[in-house]
Chain A
Amino acid sequence: DTAVSQTPKYLVTQMGNDKSIKCEQNLGHDTMYWYKQDSKKFLKIMFSYNNKELIINETVPNRFSPKSPDKAHLNLHINSLELGDSAVYFCASSPMVGGGGGDMDTQYFGPGTRLTVL
Chain B
Amino acid sequence: AQRVTQPEKLLSVFKGAPVELKCNYSYSGSPELFWYVQYSRQRLQLLLRHISRESIKGFTADLNKGETSFHLKKPFAQEEDSAMYYCALRASGAGSYQLTFGKGTKLSVIP
Contact = CB atoms under 8 A, between A and B. Distances in A.
Do A and B pair up? The answer is yes
A89 interface: no
The interface residues of chain B, by DSSP majority, are classed as mixed
Contacts of A69: none
Contact of A106 (B46, B97, B98, B103): B46
B103 A42 contact: yes
B86 interface: yes
A40 B103 contact: yes
Interface residues of B, number: 24
Interface residues of A, number: 27
A48 B97 contact: yes
A90 B97 contact: no
A50 B97 contact: yes
B28 to A, nearest CB: 17
B43 A41 contact: no
B32 interface: yes
Interface of A: 4, 31, 33, 40-45, 48, 50, 55-56, 90, 92, 97-98, 101-102, 105-112
Given A48-B97, A112-B43, 12 more contacts: A4-B43, A41-B106, A42-B104, A44-B101, A45-B99, A55-B97, A56-B98, A97-B97, A102-B52, A105-B90, A106-B46, A106-B49
